[in-house]
């Protein structure tokens, strides 16, 4: 009887000690022109999130195109400037991604992004002449780097908006590791990093938003220690007076909003900066271009492509991780 | 020399302590494992520039409730048992209107220009993160 009672007490005490599990902390901030949510589990979860927020704010101060004191603004001023090692390295990576993607990702497209103003309160439809006048300013060849010394050709400007959040997610991932975060995730306005697993050991469940019904999900994917970034025209756009819809991703080759047969592109890989750059590039490339690019770089990333004709393509690395509703809005097809 | 071992006999106080441990353990376990019902409650939290302006359980709403956000831009948020949506906004992006109605835990509506976040929390079998 005593043994039974002792055993019962032990079981109950063990159950109650489960309440001492590492604490889950969440944080929401507005930065880099978007809302950012973070969740961390661990004994130093609160400190990890606080350090992550500080890091994101530091990067915004360094890389923002709209902050006069940033290094990017200094570069855009037209003077030859010496930037930090960090900015120089990020610029070099941006140039590499531009070369790899055939210029479909290009940080020098900024003059056209600003002229269209689709992300601003006063978007404008540019005429063919206006586009033709600005297009010669686009191209990585206008960015001259010698170590940390950077010069832009006259009239050119850069915007790291299509890569900065991805880079920020890489930095947050490092902070999570430094603070021993057991599990968690960050969502930096369309850039996600899933760290470790949930408390039950399962990967984090990430819903890829349905571009045609943004309150719903097109697919679910389980991620652990991976980055995922989605780009799509549905995320920001404006409707002109004549009813034409102009989405926010500018094709550097035409100087106009990309006309893509894709509704959205999701890139999943082990590097947030790469995922950010590639998701934009693949959207601009369109379905056939994106397939061809993936076939050349299939070891580097996985992807989910949602097309205008309601097909959801996914790559073999996502087999067993991706769930698409049968009979839902999209027909799932495996790429090979 | 006499050797003796004291005889330990449980008293009423011992029983009371055992009972207290059992009650506390069960209580803690129930709280931790999320028992005693309440599983499907969805709480809507509306924050405006970091400040919580409304927090309400959807199922507690007997009729539609309207919350007006007044800042640089004005938003009208409608809350009902069936979900939450932004019915009017004069913000430039109109993303909050495009989002439509949200009704499941984990979903949110965001107005970036006015820094308004409408978030639904609660137990859910749905995703942990929404991407895109």
Q: Which domains does chain A have, with CATH numbers?
A: 66-160 (1.10.3980.10), 203-336 (3.10.520.10)
CA distance A27 to A49: 7
The answer as to whether B88 is a domain residue is yes
Residues B54 and B103 in one domain: yes
Residues B68 and B31 in one domain: no
Phi then psi dihedrals of residue A177, to 5 deg: -70, -45
Residues B25 and B51 in one domain: no
- Whether residue A314 contacts residue A334, with contact meaning beta carbons closer than 8 Å, is answered with yes
Measured in angstroms, the CA of A116 and the nearest CA of chain B are apart by: 14
Closest Cβ–Cβ partner in A16, A194, A208 for B132? A208
> A-side interface with B, Cβ within 8 Å?
5, 8-9, 12-13, 15-16, 18-19, 21, 28, 30, 33-35, 39, 120-122, 185, 187, 190, 192, 194, 198, 204-209, 211, 213-215, 217, 220, 228-230, 232, 235-236, 264, 266
Q: B28 and A21: CB-CB below 8 Å?
A: no
Closest Cβ–Cβ partner in A18, A122, A264 for B29? A18
Q: For residue A205, what are the β-bridge partners? A: A222
CATH number, residue B108: 2.60.320.10
pLDDT over 90 percentage in chain A: 82
Nearest CA in chain A to B108: A215
Residues B77 and B32 in one domain: no
Asked if B31 is an interface residue toward chain A (Cβ–Cβ < 8 A), one would say yes
Residues B65 and B118 in one domain: yes
Asked if B100 is an interface residue toward chain A (Cβ–Cβ < 8 A), one would say yes
> What CA dihedral angle connects A248, A253, A259 and A262, to 10 degrees?
-90
Query: How many A×B Cβ pairs under 8 Å?
Result: 104
How much is the average pLDDT of B16-41?
63
Residues B31 and B54 in one domain: no
Q: B128 and A21: CB-CB below 8 Å?
A: no
- Whether residue A282 contacts residue A295, with contact meaning beta carbons closer than 8 Å, is answered with no
User: Helices A45-63 and A164-178 meet at what angle, rounded to 10?
Assistant: 150
Decide if pLDDT at B37 tops 50. no
Average pLDDT for chain B: 81
Reported ipTM: 0.83
The answer as to whether B75 is a domain residue is yes
Closest Cβ–Cβ partner in B32, B99, B127 for A19? B32
CA distance A295 to B97: 38
- Whether residue A231 contacts residue A268, with contact meaning beta carbons closer than 8 Å, is answered with no
Q: How many distinct structural domains can be found in chain B? A: 2
Which positions in chain A touch B96 (Cβ < 8 Å)?
A: none
Residues B90 and B113 in one domain: yes
DSSP β-ladder status, A331-334 and A311-314: parallel
Query: What pLDDT shows up at residue B126?
Result: 79
Which positions in chain B touch A220 (Cβ < 8 Å)?
A: 127
Which residue range(s) make up the domain with B23? 11-39
Model confidence at B34, pLDDT cuts 50, 70, 90, reads very low
B86-105 pLDDT, tens digit per residue, is 999 998 878 888 888 988 88
List, as one string, the DSSP characters of A54-120: HHHHHHHHHH-SS-TTSHHHHHHTTS-EE--HHHHHHHHHHHHHHHHTTTSS-GGGHHHHHHH-TTS
Say which DSSP state A253 is in: T
The answer as to whether B130 is a domain residue is no
Which positions in chain A touch B8 (Cβ < 8 Å)?
A: none
A74-119 pLDDT, tens digit per residue, is 999 999 999 999 999 999 999 999 999 999 999 999 999 999 998 8
Q: Which residues contact A171 (CB under 8 A, 6 or more apart)?
A: A52, A55, A56, A59
Average pLDDT for chain A: 93
Asked if B9 is an interface residue toward chain A (Cβ–Cβ < 8 A), one would say no
**Around Cβ A310, how many Cβ atoms within 10 Å?**
13
Q: A12 and B25: CB-CB below 8 Å?
A: yes
Cα torsion angle, B98, B100, B104, B108, sign: positive
Residue B38, sorted as left (phi over 0), alpha (psi -120 to 50) or beta, turns out to be left
Comparing CA positions, the residue from B129, B60, B63 lying closest to residue A169 is B129
DSSP β-ladder status, A204-210 and B129-131: parallel
Q: A205 and B128: CB-CB below 8 Å?
A: yes
Closest Cβ–Cβ partner in B22, B99, B115 for A30? B115
Measured in angstroms, the CA of B1 and the nearest CA of chain A are apart by: 32
Q: B21 and A208: CB-CB below 8 Å?
A: no
Comparing CA positions, the residue from A70, A103, A102, A100 lying closest to residue A87 is A70
Query: What pLDDT shows up at residue B28?
Result: 62
CA distance A64 to A289: 30
Q: Which residues contact A241 (CB under 8 A, 6 or more apart)?
A: none
Residues B48 and B35 in one domain: no
The answer as to whether B5 is a domain residue is no
Cα torsion angle, A138, A140, A143, A144, sign: negative
Low-confidence ranges of chain A (pLDDT < 50): none
Comparing CA positions, the residue from A27, A56, A24, A209 lying closest to residue B47 is A27
Within a 13 Å sphere around the CA of A101, how many CA atoms are in the beta-carbon half?
A: 30
Which positions in chain A touch B126 (Cβ < 8 Å)?
A: 205, 207
Nearest CA in chain A to B129: A206
CA distance A335 to A329: 19
Residue A231's H or E segment, with its range, is: strand A226-232
Q: For residue B14, what are the β-bridge partners? A: none
Alpha helices (runs of H) in A135-217, residue ranges in sequence order: 164-178
- Whether residue A195 contacts residue A300, with contact meaning beta carbons closer than 8 Å, is answered with no
Phi then psi dihedrals of residue A205, to 5 deg: -95, 115
The answer as to whether B74 is a domain residue is yes
Which positions in chain B touch A206 (Cβ < 8 Å)?
A: 127-131
**Around Cβ B76, how many Cβ atoms within 10 Å?**
14
Pick the more confident residue, B70 or A14: B70
Query: What pLDDT shows up at residue B35?
Result: 46
Q: B47 and A28: CB-CB below 8 Å?
A: yes
How much is the average pLDDT of B13-36?
67
């Amino acid at each position: 009887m005593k043994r039974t009672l002792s055993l019962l007490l032990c079981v109950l005490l063990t159950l109650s000690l489960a309440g001492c599990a590492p604490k889950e902390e969440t944080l929401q901030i507005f930065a880099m022109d978007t809302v950012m949510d973070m969740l961390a589990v661990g004994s130093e979860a609160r400190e990890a999130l606080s350090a992550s927020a500080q890091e994101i704010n530091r990067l915004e101060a360094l890389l923002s195109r709209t902050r006069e004191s940033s290094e990017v603004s200094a570069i855009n001023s037209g003077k030859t400037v010496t930037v930090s090692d960090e900015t120089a390295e990020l610029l070099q990576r941006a140039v590499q991604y531009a070369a790899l993607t055939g210029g479909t990702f290009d940080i020098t497209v900024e003059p056209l992004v600003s002229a269209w103003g689709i992300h601003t309160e006063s978007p404008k439809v540019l005429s063919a002449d206006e586009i033709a006048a600005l297009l010669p300013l686009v191209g990585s060849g206008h960015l001259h780097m010698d170590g940390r010394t950077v010069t832009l050709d006259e009239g050119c400007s850069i915007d790291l908006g299509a890569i900065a959040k991805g880079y920020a997610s890489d930095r947050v991932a490092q902070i999570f590791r430094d603070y021993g975060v057991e599990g968690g995730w960050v969502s930096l306005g369309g850039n996600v990093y899933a760290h470790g697993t949930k408390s039950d050991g399962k990967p984090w469940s990430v819903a890829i938003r349905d571009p045609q019904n943004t309150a719903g999900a097109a697919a679910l994917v389980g991620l652990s220690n991976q980055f995922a970034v989605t780009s799509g025209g549905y995320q920001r756009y404006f409707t002109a007076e004549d009813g034409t819809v102009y989405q926010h991703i500018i094709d550097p080759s035409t100087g106009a909003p990309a006309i893509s047969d894709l509704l959205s592109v999701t890139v999943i890989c082990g590097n947030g900066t790469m995922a950010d750059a590639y998701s934009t590039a693949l959207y601009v490339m369109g379905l056939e271009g994106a397939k061809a690019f993936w076939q050349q770089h299939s070891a580097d990333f996985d992807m989910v492509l949602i097309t205008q004709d309601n097909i959801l393509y996914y790559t073999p690395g996502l087999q067993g991780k991706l769930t698409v509703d049968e009979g839902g809005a999209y027909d799932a097809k495996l790429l090979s | 020399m006499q050797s003796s071992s004291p005889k330990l006999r449980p008293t009423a106080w011992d029983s009371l302590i055992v009972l207290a441990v059992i009650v506390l353990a069960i209580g803690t376990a129930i709280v931790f494992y999320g028992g005693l019902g309440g599983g499907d409650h969805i709480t809507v939290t509306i924050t405006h520039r970091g400040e919580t302006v409304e927090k309400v359980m959807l199922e507690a709403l007997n009729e539609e409730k309207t919350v007006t956000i007044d800042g640089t831009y004005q938003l009208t948020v409608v809350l009902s048992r069936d979900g939450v949506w932004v019915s009017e906004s004069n913000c430039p992006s109109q993303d909050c209107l495009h989002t439509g109605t949200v009704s499941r835990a984990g979903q949110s509506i965001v107005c970036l220009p006015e820094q308004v976040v409408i978030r639904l929390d609660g137990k859910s079998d749905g995703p942990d993160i929404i991407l895109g």
